[in-house]
Every structure is written in structure tokens, then in C-alpha cells.
Chain A
Amino acid sequence: MSSPDPQRDGTPSSRLMTIALLGAGILVLAGGGAFYLASQKVARPVEAGAIAVRVGDKSCEPMDLTVPAGRSVFEIENASNRPIEWEILDGVMVVEERENIAPGFRSQLATRLKPGSYDITCGLLSNPRGKLTVIASAHSEAEKAKPPLKAFIGPLSEYKVYLVLQSGQMIQATKTLQNAIEAGDVAATKAAYGAARVAYRHVESVSGRIADIENAMDPVAAYLAGREQDPAFTGFHRIEFGLWRESSVAGLKPIADKLIADAATLRDRLKVLKFEPADLSGNSAREARRLAEGPVISGDSLYASDDLAEFAAAVDGLEKPVSLLLPLVAEASPETVKTVTDAFAATRAEIGKLGGTGTPVAYTDVPPDARKTLSASFMALADAIDRINPALGQE
């Protein structure tokens, strides 16, 4: 059910005031009632009493509060002579607040708190802040090992925003690519191609699983009967072939037009795609394994040979959804956070070692044993990411 809050705040509008006064009365009655019910040992769950906080001119009373994790109801009384705002702060972040409580008024605030240390504000900005300590409960401990579905809504939304923004950037970059092709500028086309590929690599752990889009945007000649001459050889690699193998933009205009249309379709599909909580790390682990087994061993960019830059972009794309889960993982299993963070650092270091500094190293110059080492690093990364779902009670 919703939080009670019969008195949202102390606004001196007559209507709200009436409600506030009624609410205060109800609260007293309900408090008494709760006590009565509790004393009768009635099994029905009973609302715990509200925690009183009195805000004076210079400080709160009390200045130090301790509550168990979970839902708490605070009743704030403004005993100062100015309107106040009362906030529960986690660092600079506001966890919950009530605004504009008029002098002499009370306001109620219901919230769910996780274990930890918080600050509470006490009137004027220059006044010292109070402390609120939230201690773990059996329920909060159990939720760490298996966060409720609700805990994944934020990370899933944020990942969706990322996918939409990245596919938007890909559309932008493919338009730049198209303009450069029309201008016949090979160097500018190559630059735009690189930018579009970075955005593509960022979303590939998801887009790579949408087969029709993948086949239109990213087919490789090796898998086509007529290889580079096959009419199905379209998309990114067809453009890459033209630019690097033929040093020309001839015939690329229709390919770019189609690529833009496909990128727009991809964005629309990503917008409506439904994810489950386990997909966030699951997709990244799967993609890391795919990279390890295929592209890292044989190379994906056969003509531009810029695979190392693409792998680096791919790692960023793998990390995004994982990073959104890490705050939850940190509560459940801090050592898993370390394993995952270290694995990302190790894979980046491997790519960095091969890439050297300054001029980009062509992947054709990376020998097979070095590719195997890099592949092992991606595989280790996949294994590390795979530890996340069990840590969060998924699957």
C-alpha cells in the first residue's frame, strides 16, 4: 500500500492544514492503537511507531538516531522560527526530504533505508547536521544476496538509455560517413567509419543477437559464398573493403544509405527490447566469450586491420551493463567486484600491450601466440562476469 502521509507538509493552506491536523490526530490514535495491538500480541503486522525529530533553531533533537534497515516513518517537528526543509543525506545525495515545514508544524516522512550511515539536516544550512545510523536486519541481509526485482529497474533503464544513445551516435556517424562518401573524400570516410564502429562495438553484445540486423550491418565476406563479390556482402565491412582494399568510395553510396536505415531500425528495436535482470551481465559474458573464440583469434577487420581499437571499444561496451550492477554486487559479494574489476583491467592491459603507443598497430602484425594470450584474457573476463548472476541470486 502507499505510504500514509495524511499530512504531506505544513503548508498553511486551509485545506492542507485541516488535513494536517486531522492527520496528526490520526497519527496519535494510530500510534496508541499500534501499541495496543502490539501489547495484545496480535499476529497482524503492525506499523512501528513514528520516530520523532524536533528541529530547533540551532540543531535537531536528537542529533543521533539509530533505526533498523527497512521502512521507517519519521515525524519532523519544526520547533524553530523559520520554515525548514528536512533531508536524509547519503553523502551529497538526498535519500528523502520534506520541504517547507512551517514553524510549529509537523510533517511525516516514510522511507525505506538500507544499512549505513546517513546525515540529517537540522534547519539553517549553517547548522550542524545530525547522524542517522541504519543497522542491518535479517531481511536486509537476505536482500543483499537476492535483491528484489525492483532493485534491477534502475540498472536496466540506465542500460537502455546507453543503448539508445550509442545507437543514436552510430546513426550520426553513419550520416557523416555518407556525406564523406558523397564528397569522395577517402580519408574523411575512413575517420567516420572508425567512429561508427566504436558506437557499433558498444552495443554489439545486444545487437549481435538480432540476427537480421547483424546480417545486414555486419556480415563478413568469409561467411558468404561469393566472398567480397557476393551481393549479400553489405554493411560495415563492404565499406571497409572499399576504403582500405580499393582506396576508393566508388559504389559505396548505396551501401551507406542502407547502413543508415539499418542503424535507425536497430535503435528502434533496442528501444523496445525487453531485458531480464540476468541479461545485464549475461550478455556481456557471452559477448566476451564470442570475441575470445572468434574475432580475437582470426581478426574481424580484415582490410582496415584496426581490430585493437575495436576490441578496446568492445570492452567499454561489455563494461557498461556490468558497472550498473556493481553497486548491488558490492553489497552481496565485495570479492566478486574485485574479481570483475581486475579482469577488465587485465584485458585492457593486454590490448594496450599489443597496441603499443603512437601509431596504431595493424592486427595483421599481431602474431598467433599473442592473439591466443589476448583471447585467454577475454575468456577470463567472461568467467569473471559470469560470477555476477549467482552472487545476486539470479539463476
Chain B
Amino acid sequence: MRISGLVGASALALVLSSGAFAQEASLDLVEPIAEYKIYVSEKVAKLVEDTTAFTAAVKAGEVDKAKALFAPTRLSYEAIEPIAELFSDLDVSIDSRADDYEKAEADPEFPGFHRIEYGLWEKNSAEGLAPVADKLLADVKELEGRIASLTFPPEKVVGGAAVLMEEVAATKISGEEDRYSHTDLWDFRGNFDGARKIVDLVRPLIAEKEADFLKTVDANFATVDTTLAKYKDGEGYVTYDKLTEDDRKVLAAAVNTLAEDLSTLRGKLGLD
């Protein structure tokens, strides 16, 4: 029922011009976008602080400490990915995966968080990682500076909610993002928090007209919350392999639905 409805709507959208039923973007978006920038600025400040401690541990060869700091440090990055990803050069140097390189893990160009993750978990060593750590810290500081001077494009902010859920659907639900450390559930948390923040900020603008939509979205966020809560371990989460197949399916269904639903948010706010 759902799927056929979606396909029907899509077919209509494809045939009609996008302007046909366009919502007009309203200046009521100014406050949510401003609030979102402040949220992102606070997160990136935390990212710099955490990355400073993480890279210091890597450079000191404190493998266990570095491993413990890896996932919590990434949390802030994952929450602000819709903005962080706008800077293609930094996204590559901070968060690219081995697949993007010709020689995969063996490629000398393979940088950032995942290069360090590979060393710490696959090799159980911080050897040779000092320059990678220095570069990572320099890159997150550069990111902080660029975010400070960026005028946030409203369509990227509002579209960011869907981007985060697509990100989870595309690369997280399979456990391939943090494939060496299996700390994917932490990243999930960051992505969900980031997506929910965006929804909450624009909620007053659509609360009346889109009550059903919000109800569905909230229900799926709640499903994710309840499912993730089962795997809580101290401040964070157990490794991804502990996730049962049933729960993986529950999460996947909620995430896919969220990705589909939230992809309409831009249109609802006149930003397509």
C-alpha cells in the first residue's frame, strides 16, 4: 500500500513540472537555519576538542586509549555530516573509506579516521599513524573554520535530515562504515541525533499542515531509539556484530522509511 502510493506520487511528480504545486519558501525558515548553524558550530567545536585527545593518544602509541576514544569522537562528525560533507576535499581527507582508493587499505593515500581505525583494530598498533593523526587534527580544525564562515544553504540543512538517513541506509546498516572497529551503532546515534535535530527545528513550520507526516516520522524515530537502547553499553554501544538479525531488520525498515519520508521535507518547505 505504502509502496504503491509512493510510486504513484513519484510518477506524478516526474510527469508534472516541479513548479506545478510548489510551496513557497518562507522567511520563517530563517530562525531554524540560524539555530541549526549554532548547533553545528557547537558540535564541530566538540569534534575539535575530542579529536585533539584522540590524535594525542594515537601519537603517544596508547592503542587502548585511542580505541576507546575513536567512536565517541566520531559522534559529533556523524551528527553534522550534511554540512561537513559539503566540503568535498575535507570529507575525503577526514572520512573516506578504503573503497575510494585504488589499492584500498594498502593505498598510501588512504587517510583520516578510517585509516587510523584500520591501524588500531586490524594491526592493533599506532605505528606509522602519527602523520595521519596530525593531518586529521589539522583537517577538523580547518573544517571548524570553514563552517564558521559558511552561510548555510537552507535546502542543504532541510535536505540534511534525509541525507543522514540515506547515509545510514546506504553504508551503516550493512556495517561497512566502521568495518574494522564495528562501532557503527555510535555512528547511527550521531546520524539520528543530527536528523532529529533538523526535524525538530522545522517542526513549528509544518506542525499544522503535516501532522500525519510528523506522527509517522516520530514513530520511526521512536522505533530506532527503542531498538538502539537495547544495545547501550555505558556511554555508548556494543559492537555491531551483537545486533540480532531481527533488530537489524527493524532498524533497516525504520531507516528506509525515514529516508523516504524525510526526502519530502525540502518540498514541504518550498526548497526544491
Q: Which A residues contact B (CB, under 8 angstroms)?
A: 1-6, 8-9, 11, 13, 15-16, 18-19, 22-23, 26-27, 29-30, 33-34, 37, 44-47, 71, 82-83, 85, 87, 89, 92-94, 97, 99-100, 110, 112, 124-126, 148-150, 152-158, 160-161, 164, 271-272, 274-277, 324
Whether B25 is near chain A, meaning CB under 8 Å from some CB there, is: yes
Complexed CA–CA distance, A282 and B18 (Å):
34
Identify the closest chain A residue to B255 (Cβ): A13
Report A9 CB to chain B, min CB distance, Å: 6
For the A-B complex with A94-B85, A149-B25 known, give 19 more contacts whose Cβ atoms are closer than 8 Å.
A3-B263, A3-B266, A8-B260, A8-B263, A9-B166, A15-B256, A19-B6, A27-B14, A29-B11, A99-B166, A125-B109, A126-B101, A126-B102, A150-B270, A154-B33, A155-B151, A160-B34, A161-B41, A275-B30
Complexed CA–CA distance, A274 and B100 (Å):
45
| Contact residue among A6, A100, A150, A161 (Cβ-Cβ distance under 8 Å from B6) | A6
Complexed CA–CA distance, A170 and B228 (Å):
42
B33 touches A153 (CB 8 A): yes
Q: What are some 8 contacts across the A-B interface (CB < 8 A)? A: A13-B169, A19-B3, A26-B7, A27-B14, A124-B100, A158-B151, A161-B34, A274-B27
With A11-B170, A154-B154 in contact, do A149 and B38 touch (Cβ < 8 Å)?
no
B33 touches A1 (CB 8 A): no
Interface of A is mostly: mixed
- Interface flags, B1-33, vs A, CB<8A=1, else 0: 001001100111111111111101111011101
Interface of B is mostly: helix
With A8-B259, A46-B15, A158-B151 in contact, do A152 and B109 touch (Cβ < 8 Å)?
no
Inter-chain contacts of B99 with A (CB < 8 A)? 82-83
B154 touches A153 (CB 8 A): yes
Inter-chain contacts of B206 with A (CB < 8 A)? none
A4 touches B151 (CB 8 A): no
Complexed CA–CA distance, A149 and B259 (Å):
28
Inter-chain contacts of A100 with B (CB < 8 A)? 170-171
Complexed CA–CA distance, A27 and B171 (Å):
25
Report A32 CB to chain B, min CB distance, Å: 11
A154 touches B260 (CB 8 A): no
| Contact residue among B16, B89, B153, B154 (Cβ-Cβ distance under 8 Å from A92) | B89
B contact residues, range: 35 or more
Inter-chain contacts of B38 with A (CB < 8 A)? 161, 164
> 10 closest pairs, A vs B, by CB?
A2-B267, A45-B17, A157-B33, A100-B170, A6-B10, A160-B34, A30-B14, A150-B25, A4-B13, A157-B34
Max count, chain A CB within 10 A of own CB: residue among B18, B20, B26, B263? B18
Complexed CA–CA distance, A149 and B260 (Å):
27
B10 touches A16 (CB 8 A): no
| Contact residue among B31, B102, B153, B252 (Cβ-Cβ distance under 8 Å from A160) | B31
Complexed CA–CA distance, A302 and B88 (Å):
52
Whether B268 is near chain A, meaning CB under 8 Å from some CB there, is: yes
Inter-chain contacts of B89 with A (CB < 8 A)? 92
Which chain B residues numbered 152 to 190 have a C-beta less than 8 Å away from chain A? 152-154, 162, 166-167, 169-171, 173
Inter-chain contacts of A9 with B (CB < 8 A)? 166, 169-170
